[in-house]
Amino acid sequence: MKQDLIVILDLGSTQNTVIAREIRSLGVYSEIHPHDITAEELKGLDNVKGIVLNGGENRMVDGQAVEIRPELYELGYPMISVDYPQSECEKRFDELPTQEELKSFIFEDCRAEANWNMKNFIEDQVELIRQQVGDKKVLLALSGGVDSSVVAAMLIKAIGQQLVCVHVNHGLMRKNESESVVKVFRDELHANLIYVDASERFLGKLENVADPEQKRKIIGGEFIRVFEEEARKLEGIDFLGQGTIYPDIIESGTKTAKMVKSHHNVGGLPEDLKFELVEPLKQLFKDEVRACGVELGLPHDMVYRQPFPGPGLGVRCLGAITRERLEAVRESDAILREEFTKAGLDKKVWQYFTVVPDFKSVGMKNHARVFEYMVIIRAINTVDAMTASVEKVDWEVLERITNRILAEVEHVNRVCYDMSPKPPATIEFE
Ligand code: XMP
């Protein structure tokens, strides 16, 4: 391994990732581990240069304060503690150390080198993947989202044709999205890519289904089935690649960290499809995943794209999906994205999309009465998607988008702008 490591032991702090990111920003790799790690486990980690014992408000578990194993003090690693009164370290901090204090610990006490960068990270991961996989094959569901795209690029670099990517087009992708996945991965990166056009199958299953939860279940369930069918056609696959990233792991909770949500990998794959997982991004934060994608040569648009829900346009074509309205969502979304890019808003706004409800309103086209659908534009900003505020889009930009949608999208006679923050609204409509 090329990188020195500072280990953070989680004794109930809510600030583990803050310290981890601070250390990484100083160019030194850092990982969060549970407080009850054993001396053996710690010694098993590569290039450990020092340890931060990080206490905090969740230090009481079942009425008892958690402690590290005393033998860790004997290992001779430089240590500091934060908000951990029982600590036996020399240097103790009551609150988060300043950057200067961290620097002094990392570079003077621990003598760590600032050798954490994407190039080294990728070289390390490529080596680890080759060791893990040997001459076996890896299967990867390539949605075209940031995480799966970066994992694919990493695996292609490490094992080339031993990676089999499966891209399932569920018919609910944005305009030209599947085409771009095929172009980048098959044509440019020469990936071994199986493209499955399952649009008809998905739309068939979704016919007349209006309930949002039901729609989501059908899309998720069908996705697993299509992927499983493809997996069964292939021979000699032992591994499954996954775009698990660091927040997924941390949010699943260590003993002391509050569980935010359970981390589920490709949930729902049948038991008899037994794969060992390959998760080369599992130590990266989202912005690091993007930097890794850029370093691996993926197009900027693919790496910096806005979040897109798994069920795709299916949750933006409200109620029971029809081809007519799905097309209206897809086309209006493409116009919105084009105009946002022209206005420079694509770099400013966190998420923006269009929605088409399943009711009509009266209008007039060519001096005749029409009864047609409406397009709702939504543009929001958020940090963590838990709360969101509405972007105050320039009136002229909104007018331009509205005029284009009314002129270019069939079956639409009205455009609205959604002014609702989250809460009480959610970001998506379904
Ligand atoms: P809500 O609508 O809950 O959305 O305010 C929060 C964020 O999550 C995205 N979203 C999803 N992402 N699978 C995903 O990967 C999903 O099923 C899903 N549903 C919502 C949504 O686009 C927003 O960014």
- For residue 264, pLDDT over 50 is answered with no
Task: Output the CA torsion 25→31→35→39 (10° steps).
Answer: -120
Position 149 pLDDT exceeds 60:
yes
Half-sphere exposure of 154 (CA within 13 A, CB side): 33
In our burial notation (b when 16+ CB lie closer than 10 A, e otherwise), range 221-255 reads ebbbbbbbebbeeeeebebbbbbbbbbbebeebbe
CA dist 292 and 280 (Å) reads 11
CA of residue 309 to ligand 1 center, whole Å: 5
Closest atom, ligand 1, to C-alpha of 310: 13
Mutate to test the pocket of ligand 1, among 217, 351, 427 (most ligand atoms within 8 A of CB): 427
Query: Mean of the pLDDT values across residues 134-161?
Result: 97
Distance CA 345, CA 351 (A): 10
The predicted pLDDT at position 417 comes to: 98
Amino acid at 402: T
For 97-101, what is the mean pLDDT? 96
Interval 34-86: pLDDT, tens: 899 999 999 999 999 999 999 988 887 777 888 999 999 999 999 999 999 98
Q: Quick one: pLDDT band at residue 247, thresholds 50, 70, 90? A: confident
336 CA from centroid of ligand 1 (Å):
19
Nearest CA to ligand 1 atom 4: 427
CA gap 333, 100 in Å, rounded: 47
Give the phi and the psi of residue 336 in degrees, each rounded to 5.
-55, -45
Residue 259 clears pLDDT 80, i.e. is over it: no
Tens of pLDDT, residue by residue over 101-136, are 999 999 999 999 999 999 999 999 999 999 999 999
Integer Cα distance of 357 and 330 in angstroms = 13
The residue type at 390: V
Tell me if 357 CB under 6 Å of ligand 1. Answer: no
pLDDT over threshold 80, residue 263: no
Q: Is 219 in the pocket of ligand 1 (CB under 6 A)?
A: no
In the predicted structure, residue 252 carries a pLDDT above the cut 90: no
- pLDDT value of residue 199: 98
Position 265 pLDDT exceeds 60? no
Assess contact for 171 and 200: CB atoms under 8 A.
yes
Lowest mean per-residue pLDDT among 273-287, 347-361, 387-401 = 273-287
DSSP state, residue 183? I
**Residue 177's CB: how many other CB atoms inside 10 A?**
19
Which pLDDT score is estimated for 62?
77
Structural element, H or E, at residue 5? strand 5-11
Asked whether the CA dihedral 174, 178, 179, 184 is positive or negative, the reply is: positive
Mean pLDDT, all residues of the chain? 93
Check if 309 has its Cβ closer than 6 Å to any atom of ligand 1.
yes
User: 354, 332 in Cβ contact below 8 A?
Assistant: yes
Q: How far is the CA of 383 from the centre of ligand 1 (A)?
A: 13
Please report, rounded to a whole number, the percentage of residues in the chain having pLDDT higher than 90: 83
Confidence of residue 273 (pLDDT cuts 50, 70, 90): confident
422: Cβ below 6 Å to ligand 1? yes
* 1-13: average pLDDT: 90
Can you read off the two tokens belonging to residue 260?
A: 């935010």
Q: Is the CB of 247 under 6 A from ligand 1?
A: no
Please state whether beta strands 48-55 and 79-82 pair in parallel, antiparallel, or not at all (unpaired).
Answer: parallel
* pLDDT band, very low/low/confident/very high, at 254 (cuts 50, 70, 90): low
36 Cβ partners below 8 Å, 6+ apart?
Answer: 66, 68, 69, 255
What pLDDT is recorded for position 204? 98
Estimate to the nearest angstrom the gap between the alpha carbon of 336 and the chain centroid: 23
**How large a percentage of the chain has pLDDT more than 70?**
95
The two tokens of residue 216 are 């989501």
Q: How confident is the model at residue 268 (pLDDT cuts 50, 70, 90)?
A: low
More confidently predicted of 317 and 248: 317
Number of H helices, E strands in the chain: 13, 17
How far, in Å, from the CA of 58 to the mean position of ligand 1? 28
Task: Please compute the mean of the pLDDT values over residues 218-247 and round it to a whole number.
Answer: 91
pLDDT in tens, 153-188: 999 999 999 999 999 999 999 999 999 999 999 999
Which letter, b or e, does each residue of 375-389 get, where b requires 16 or more Cβ atoms within 10 Å of its Cβ? bbbbbbeeeeeeebe
83 neighbors 13 (Cβ within 8 angstroms): yes
Nearest partner of 321 among 362, 358, 374, judged by Cα: 358
Q: What is the mean pLDDT of residues 87-94?
A: 93
Could you give the CA distance from residue 309 to residue 184 in angstroms, rounded to a whole number? 21
- Mean pLDDT confidence for 186-198: 97
